[in-house]
Chain A
Amino acid sequence: MDIKDRLRNLPGKKPRKREKSNNKAGSSQSPKANSSTAASQDAYLFNREIYEPDFQQGNYALGELKELPLEQAKFLFKNRSDYQLAKEELIFLDTETSGLAGGAGTVVFLVGLGYFREDNFILEQHLMRDFEEELDQLLAVKSRLEERRAVVSFNGKSFDLPLLENRFVLNRLSFPAPDYHLDLLHPSRSLWNHLPSCSLKALERQLLNYSRRGDIDGSEVPELYFSYLRKKDMSLLEPVLHHNRLDIISLVALAVHLEKTAGSTEYNHLSAQELYNLGRILERENRRQASIECLEKSYRQVRSTSRPKKKMLEKIEKNLSWQYKRVVNWEAAVTIWQRMIEEKRGEYFARIELAKFLEHQQADFAGALEHSRAARSWLFENRHWRDDWRQKLKEVEHRIERLKNRSC
């Protein structure tokens, strides 16, 4: 029997038949660029568009990115360097790939790059129209990347850059690793973790006041590329190119927004939730005074609303009072704890903290005992809501015993 017949007779699931493409090639609403060139050399496909500084994406214009971009907000990035990066040293990067799982068989068929030159924003797309074009595509990307020192991406640390590096290794080229990599995903996650989603699209909608129309979902990209390869119909790739352009422009807009959110020292324009998150980040950075200021602003904002959210208040109060304690501002801490008890929020926490304060700072054992007992009865009454009540009860009883001994 012919080997192909034998192959056809093998058991198990057959390879998926090529299905007809039913992709609505999206109403490709290309962002208006002042000029656009598409150089279709023999080597691979190269697109370039030039955007003027007043080009708007949502709330922001591209030109709003400052001279020293992300300078004030630098603390948001892990492994940051204290080196100051000029706007001209940044290169914005976003890729489209043939698969989302990674591995050596996943190709980066499209590399989108953006950078500033004389105030204009240049957006380039390096497309591999078929497998044999990869080497030329990579060489071009390599020389672009080598011109700039810092890559700006969204989730590029764990996705785009490792995949791109794979391609370089497979083509036996050295990888132009950037000196700095500002991955906007991580600071966005810490600042906006209260939002239901931190995908780039969700952030655009919620923060940049921009919503995409007719855009494809990232998960559709591999199949669109494969259909394009089979049919060699460029219109199938148009939605992907469009999607990639939007991603890159959004990167700039998001960078502007990050800078505006975290970069000023006033923080007056931030929401209570943002202020709270920022306070937590600053706390981790050991910038305690700045952290306290953020939390105080957040606290004032929430308290000034007509019906403040109890959960939110409690969260802020717990954090803020801890911070006061650390900087030995007992007065402010005690005020918060007393208010918590009065307004019946986090009573257990507040009473235990007060008991500690009275015992260790004031040697007021009777007062401490009183709060401890109140904490115990609160705990017992609310035991149904707390999984750890037995443990806590033990602790508080231990405290009561000790205080009894000390007070007499």
Chain B
Amino acid sequence: MHAANGCVTILNQMVQYYAARFDASFAALSDATRRGVLEQLGRADASITDLADKFHMTLTGMKKHVGVLEQAGLVTTEKVGRVRTCRLGRRRLEEEAAWIESYRQLWDARFDELDKVVEELKRKEKVDGRHKKK
């Protein structure tokens, strides 16, 4: 009984956690400037000042956008001295790792089939070899 309830609780927490993450991500991505900022950070890290200049915005306006992206886990920031540097968050890296894993699985399935084709070729050659010897 306890175990069953425990499972549901964990599952619920997971669902709530992911739902919140998805909501935050969608909200973050619903804005063209914020999508532009992500694209920009995909090329290189940048300070908030750099980003404000690039997107012709005030520092305060850019800080707000970066804040939303940070909340969604899409961007992380680090303050060194007077400069706050922004870079792509871990979420982006996790997505990349997930993509590479699915790419690996695709090739794994393909190569399993290739193994079969080569096995068949080997078998045929053995048979042909035997015929030729006769």
Q: Do A and B come from one complex?
A: no
List the interface of chain B (C-beta within 8 A of A): none
List the interface of chain A (C-beta within 8 A of B): none
